[in-house]
């Protein structure tokens, strides 16, 4: 006889489970503790099986019968409802494991220790504020260009265009990480080129806040690439020459005993002299042991050619810096020019001569390699010492 609502409500527990049968294999099991569970008894290939259909009163009699009927329909189609439920549960678990937020946090933890603290905090804050609330729960394989664009439009709408561009780059990096780890097949972000207005560009983005410079210098120490690139990264802020001149530096032009590097400026075709601080000499002596027998200070894969023009910027990106909006190899020049003048109070004409810029004087001389050489030597050592202070977290007022 089919069950009734009254019979279900008044069913009492006993020392052993009590089963109250309805029809079509549906029954209510009352546990000794008083819990009431809907179950379905069915057979597949002659083997008896049971399937849970929910708990009473969360699932009432009508709903239990609907679930029974749905399960029996699957059976009539040759589908085991129990196996289907397990497969569906496993698929959902896999989707959760491969959700955008899960993969993003894994990517973040993998790279966090190689980034400066400030940069790391910006990345996770941007994800948690602008991305996870909308993309976080989606399987990373299901994310489309339209999904990403909705995120970017939302950020753009509040006037944060630069942040929108950075978010797009971060989302792309995460999806490419998913591709590399076998959890996605395609990054939709390149499809969005041109979808946002271009961010306000500066010729060469740079970091000029002393505290952030200290974070960057500490990040450089964490670089895990080759020793040659490691040295190029550390010399970039110390020497602040043009990136092309640094990568093409030749040992024949460097006198480590005199602590001087002389070369022809690529832009002005004039002689230039770079006084070398004790820190720069130390790095170059260590590097000389590796590359000193060749022509180039920073050889590429082929020792007869200099390293690629993209190497320093690629290394900065590996450290988590956006070379379009935060810092480039060329940006170290603006960093030095700004801080030397505004913080260390070095006279502008001394800085400009060290940058190998054309500096007209009363005699009409555009550039003089030896002009202010003594002052520049003092400045370069002062700069190197100041960078060491910033890296150690010392004061930022330039008086230390």
Radius of gyration (Cα) for the chain, nearest Å?
A: 33
The single residue listed with the structure tokens 């002596």 is: 285
CATH of 100-192, one of 3.40.50.620, 1.10.150.130, 1.10.240.10, 1.10.1060.10: 1.10.150.130
Catalytic residue from among 166, 183, 330, 376: 330
Residue pair 149/190 in contact by the 8 Å Cβ criterion:
no
CATH topology of domain 210-392: hpI Integrase; Chain A (1.10.443)
Other Cβ atoms closer than 10 A to 151: 19
List, in sequence order, every residue forming a beta bridge with 37; answer none if it has no partner.
29, 55
Q: Are 172 and 149 in contact (CB under 8 A)?
A: no
Cα–Cα dist 231/253, whole Å = 17
CA-to-CA dists, residue 108 to 126, 177, 272, angstroms = 12, 10, 43
367 is catalytic: yes
CA geometry: angle 132, 134, 137, nearest 5 deg:
70
Q: Which of 367, 376, 377, 391 is catalytic?
A: 367
User: Smallest Cα–Cα separation from 119: which of 333, 324, 322, 338?
Assistant: 322
* Four-residue CA torsion sign, 352, 356, 358, 362: positive
Where in the chain is CATH 1.10.150.130?
100-192
CB 55 within 8 A of CB 35: yes
The active-site residue, picked from 267, 285, 347, 369, is 267
**Alpha carbons 268 and 106: distance in angstroms, whole number:** 48
Element (H, E) at 44: strand 36-44
The alpha carbon of 52 is separated from its chain's Cα centroid by a whole number of angstroms, namely 44
Q: Is 296 a catalytic residue?
A: no
Please list the residue range(s) of the chain that carry CATH number 3.30.160.390: 5-91
Q: Catalytic: which of 176, 357, 371, 396?
A: 357
Q: What is the pLDDT of residue 124?
A: 93
CATH topology of domain 5-91: Double Stranded RNA Binding Domain (3.30.160)
In our burial notation (b when 16+ CB lie closer than 10 A, e otherwise), range 46-82 reads eeeeebebeebeebebeebbebbeebbebeeeeebbb
Q: Say what the pLDDT of residue 158 is.
A: 86
Whole-angstrom Cα distance, residue 283 to residue 285? Answer: 6
Per-residue pLDDT of the chain (400 residues; tens, 9 = 90+): 789 989 998 999 999 999 999 988 999 999 998 999 999 999 988 899 989 899 999 999 999 999 999 999 998 888 888 888 887 776 665 665 688 999 999 999 998 887 766 678 889 999 999 999 999 989 998 999 999 999 999 999 888 888 899 899 999 999 999 999 988 899 999 999 889 887 655 457 888 889 889 999 999 998 888 999 999 999 999 999 999 999 999 999 999 999 999 998 877 778 899 999 999 999 999 999 999 999 999 999 888 999 998 899 999 998 888 888 888 999 999 999 999 999 999 998 899 889 988 665 544 445 566 678 999 999 999 999 999 999 988 655 554 4
* Torsion sign across C-alpha atoms 303, 273, 334, 285: positive
Threshold 0.75, pTM exceeds: no
Active site residue 321: no
Yes or no: say if 333 and 204 are a contact pair by the CB < 8 Å rule: yes
In whole angstroms, give the CA distance from residue 181 to residue 170. 17
267 catalytically annotated: yes
In the residue annotation, 357 being an active-site residue is answered as yes
Report the candidate in 321, 290, 144, 276 with the shortest Cα–Cα distance to residue 228: 290
What distance separates the 2 farthest-apart alpha carbons in the chain? Answer: 114
Token readout for 112 is 């966090």
Whether 263 is catalytic = no
Active-site position among 242, 272, 353, 377: 242
């Amino acid at each position: 006889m089919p069950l009734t609502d009254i019979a279900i409500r008044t069913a009492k527990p006993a020392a052993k489970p009590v089963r109250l049968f309805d029809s079509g294999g549906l029954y209510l099991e009352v546990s000794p503790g008083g819990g009431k569970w809907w179950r379905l008894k069915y057979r597949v290939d002659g083997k008896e099986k049971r399937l849970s259909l929910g708990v009473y009163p969360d699932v009432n009699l009508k709903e239990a019968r609907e679930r029974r009927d749905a399960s029996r329909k699957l059976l009539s189609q040759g589908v085991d409802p129990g196996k289907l439920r397990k497969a569906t549960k496993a698929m959902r678990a896999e989707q959760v494991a491969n959700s955008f937020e899960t993969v993003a946090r894994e990517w973040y933890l993998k790279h966090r220790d190689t980034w400066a603290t400030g940069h790391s905090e910006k990345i996770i804050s941007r994800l948690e504020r602008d991305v996870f609330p909308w993309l976080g729960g989606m399987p990373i394989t299901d994310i489309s260009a339209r999904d990403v664009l909705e995120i970017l439009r939302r950020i753009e709408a509040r006037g944060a265009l630069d942040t929108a561009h950075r978010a797009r780059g971060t989302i792309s990096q995460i999806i490419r990480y998913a591709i590399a780890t076998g959890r996605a097949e395609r990054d939709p972000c390149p499809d969005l080129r041109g979808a946002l207005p271009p961010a306000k560009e500066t010729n060469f983005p740079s970091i000029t806040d002393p505290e952030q410079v200290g974070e960057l210098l500490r990040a450089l120490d964490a670089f895990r690439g080759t020793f040659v690139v490691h040295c190029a990264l550390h010399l970039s802020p110390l020497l602040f020459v043009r990136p092309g001149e640094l990568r093409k530096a030749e040992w024949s032009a460097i006198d480590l005993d005199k602590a001087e590097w002389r070369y022809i400026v690529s832009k002005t075709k004039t002689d230039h002299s770079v006084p070398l601080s004790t820190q720069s000499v130390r790095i170059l002596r260590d590097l000389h042991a590796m590359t000193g027998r060749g022509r180039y200070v920073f050889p590429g894969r082929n020792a007869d050619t200099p390293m690629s023009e993209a190497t320093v910027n690629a290394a900065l990106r590996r450290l988590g810096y956006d070379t379009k909006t935060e810092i480039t190899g060329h940006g170290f020049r603006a960093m030095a020019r700004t801080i030397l003048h505004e913080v260390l109070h070095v006279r502008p004409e001394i800085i400009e001569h060290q940058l190998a810029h054309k500096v007209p004087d009363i005699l009409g001389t555009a550039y003089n390699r030896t002009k202010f050489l003594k002052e520049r030597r003092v400045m370069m050592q002062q700069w190197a010492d100041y960078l060491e202070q910033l890296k150690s977290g010392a004061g930022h007022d330039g008086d230390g």
